């Protein structure tokens, strides 16, 4: 059974914010939410993670709901290079058992 659910695909206009939702209703107390992305056929790349507080780094922001059952990854100013598959993962801080699922295919449109 999938631990997270994400929309299959999304489009976003270049320069606008891309908001990618994720449901993780069965997340347990010590599990974090992680986001990775995979550009074309390359290996996935880590973006950001969080436990219960909102997080921001140079790549993105992560908003986690108070009940921790869902989160949203925000790319503030999407560029064409952000076209990729985005994976939302819930898992322990050890990172040993990541279930990537099928992710959301984001297409940034010029």
Partner 1 sequence: NAGVTQTPKFRVLKTGQSMTLLCAQDMNHEYMYWYRQDPGMGLRLIHYSVGEGTTAKGEVPDGYNVSRLKKQNFLLGLESAAPSQTSVYFCASSYSSTRTASGGRPYEQYFGPGTRLTVT
**Interface residues toward partner 1, by CB under 8 A:** 32, 34, 36, 41-46, 49, 87, 91, 93-103
Least Cα distance to 90 among 82, 78, 76, 100 occurs for 100
Residue count of the chain: 110
CB of 29 to partner 1, least distance (A): 17
Dihedral of the alpha carbons of 67, 54, 35, 74, in degrees to the nearest 10: 110
Looking at the Cβ atoms of 78 and 91, the one nearer to partner 1 is: 91
Chain position carrying tokens 């206009």: 13
Looking at the Cβ atoms of 53 and 94, the one nearer to partner 1 is: 94
Q: Burial level of 5, CB count in 10 A (0-12/13-18/19+)?
A: middle
Looking at the Cβ atoms of 14 and 38, the one nearer to partner 1 is: 38
CB of 110 to partner 1, least distance (A): 25
CB of 48 to partner 1, least distance (A): 10
């Amino acid at each position: 059974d999938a631990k997270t659910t994400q929309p299959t695909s999304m489009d976003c206009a270049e320069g606008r914010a891309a908001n990618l939702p994720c449901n993780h209703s069965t997340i347990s107390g010590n599990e974090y939410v992680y986001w990775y992305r995979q550009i074309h056929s390359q290996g996935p790349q880590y973006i950001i993670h969080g436990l219960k507080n909102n997080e921001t780094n140079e790549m993105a922001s992560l908003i986690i709901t108070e009940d921790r059952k869902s989160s949203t990854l925000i790319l503030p100013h999407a560029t064409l290079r952000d076209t990729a598959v985005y994976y939302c993962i819930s898992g322990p801080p050890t990172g040993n058992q990541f279930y990537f699922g099928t992710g959301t295919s984001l297409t940034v449109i010029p």
